[in-house]
Amino acid sequence: MSAIIDTFIAPPCFAEIEILWQDDDLILINKPSGLLSLSGKNPQNLDSVHYRLVQAFPGCTLVHRLDFGTSGLMVIARNKAINAALCHQFSQRAINKVYTALLCGHVDNNEGVIDAPIAKDPALFPLMSICAINGKPARSRYRVVERMFQEQEDGTVLPLTRVQLTPETGRTHQLRIHCQQLGHPIIGCDLYGGLEWPGTEQTPRLMLHASGLDFVHPVSGKAINARHDAPF
């Protein structure tokens, strides 16, 4: 098996983490695009959500991650017990996540399900692949919010579809590779075709935002229904 060598160096991220809500047990944040969730092994990749937050909230831990280019809602545990309780909710699929994305082209159907198993292949790193033989089950739902045309600076008119994405499983790069499988990559996605459509080459970021997060507060037992609009 090929060894995985990660050569990615994150450019500096000057955007701030927005703290949306906090109590003694957890923190809800809006992660900016272009910031790692966890620090990488390379010292040049030290800056991350965890690195920044642990300065202000010693002992805090990440319950889940968002990709480097993805912005939006994350829940952070302030101690190990809360982390364990929230991780249990994730493992039981009791946490509902909703994303907003801009896709290349106009999606034909107003809603649908993408059911395509995803596999890791060290030879393709960091790319994941759709593989019926070695892949783990992966399922995502999509719903069209709006179909539109956007004129680029060079005069190119780009057809776009704004969608709401709901992952039913949590595989690496799931939404990004599933949208490519649908035939409509997420705009700005460098790994799965989102910079290859005419007019998308200069897209400043991955157009994917975690806009909804539903879970149960581990201490109070109250339902938390967090929402945050996409900045695009």
Q: What are the structural domains, with CATH classification, of the chain?
A: 18-227 (3.30.2350.10)
CB 61 within 8 Å of CB 83: yes
In this predicted model, which residue has the larger pLDDT, 40 or 197? 197
- The residues with which 66 forms a beta bridge, in sequence order, are none
CA dihedral 225, 188, 164, 97 (to 10 degrees): -30
Q: Give the three-state DSSP class for 87.
A: helix
pLDDT 10s digits, 141-179: 999 999 999 987 778 899 999 999 999 999 999 999 999
CB atoms within 10 A of CB 73: 22
Contacts of 27 (CB under 8 A, 6+ apart): 19, 21, 53, 57, 60, 75, 76, 78
Query: Looking at the predicted structure, is the pLDDT value of residue 5 above 70?
Result: no
How high is the pLDDT of residue 193?
97
CB 154 within 8 Å of CB 123: no
- The residues with which 19 forms a beta bridge, in sequence order, are 29
DSSP string, 145-160: EEEEEEE-TTS-EEEE
Query: Looking at the predicted structure, is the pLDDT value of residue 221 above 50?
Result: yes
How high is the pLDDT of residue 144?
98
67 is catalytic: yes
Contacts of 95 (CB under 8 A, 6+ apart): 86, 89, 213, 214, 215
pLDDT level of residue 3 (50, 70, 90 thresholds): low
How high is the pLDDT of residue 153?
77
pLDDT 10s digits, 42-90: 888 999 999 999 999 999 999 999 999 999 999 999 999 999 999 999 9
Residue tagged active-site, from 24, 25, 47, 67? 67
How high is the pLDDT of residue 155?
82
How far apart CA 12 and CA 214 sit, in angstroms, is 31
How high is the pLDDT of residue 121?
83
- CA distances to 42, 116, 144, 149, 201 from 109, rounded to whole Å, are 43, 18, 8, 17, 26
